[in-house]
Structure 1
Amino acid sequence: MWQQVINQRVLQYNTPFTFSHLFRSSIITVNAALNTDPAFPFGKRSYKLAATLFPIFYSSETGLNKGDPRRLYLGNRQIAFNNPFSYAYNIEIYIHLWTPQLDLTIWESDEEVNIDTTIKLERIQSSLNSIETKIDNINQTST
């Protein structure tokens, strides 16, 4: 189930802005729109690239880590961040110079289980079990 977590006009440009919401889902849906009456009368209104998003992950072991950027285009887009360990994260946004502001609406899924992550973790566990079995066999044959 998708929940709207942010509905905000972002007025800053050429400087980073970090949303206060702490995201938990690796996949978000973002609707980026230009204001119908922008503060400054410049910019290519047909240009689709609106901003760049950076996830800032929080881990108790490593602290803050900036993730790989994702481009944000005008319209309704689904964006996925590489977050295999399901760390909580904030989003830092850089609005491109061609527009002075964006109206953003962001939805987050409340589903905790990510099937891709589950499959990866099962494969890792299977590999570890296989390695442990091989080590046990080597130890038994050497004694």
Structure 2
Amino acid sequence: MAAITMVGSNRSRLRSSSLQSWVNGFSPLSVGVDVPAEVQEFSRTLFNMRPDISLFVSKVIFSSDLRGVLGLVKVPCCIMQTAQDASVPASMAIYLRDHLGGRNTGEMLDTEGHLPHLSAPQLLVRKLRRALSR
């Protein structure tokens, strides 16, 4: 296999192109494809992040395993999960509900995306109000 050597501007263009491709694919999945204005706004915020910070945050998210300390959380929690989340499966919400140490509940939101505050804010507010009134 031949090694590919890139210099300055070529490497920068590749990073920029890769970031743009990732953001363009990730944003609709995270927000939900039916809300184009919110997808565009979320994309803008991702493009405005410094790449080194984005990489660091991604590494922390994907390499962290906090399952061993979930039981130490003793306050009641309400886990909000969208029905179609490309980033976090519904089984994860059930796992959290069952393994956090407090008296926990779960709410399945009938919407798609990882960011219900963008894809279905009214639904999320309604569910939050209900959970907080308990």
TM-score when normalising by structure 2: 0.25
Q: Higher Cα Rg: structure 1 or 2?
A: 1
Structure with bigger helix share is 2
User: Which of 1 and 2 has higher RCO (CA within 8 Å, sep 6+)?
Assistant: 1
TM-score when normalising by structure 1: 0.24
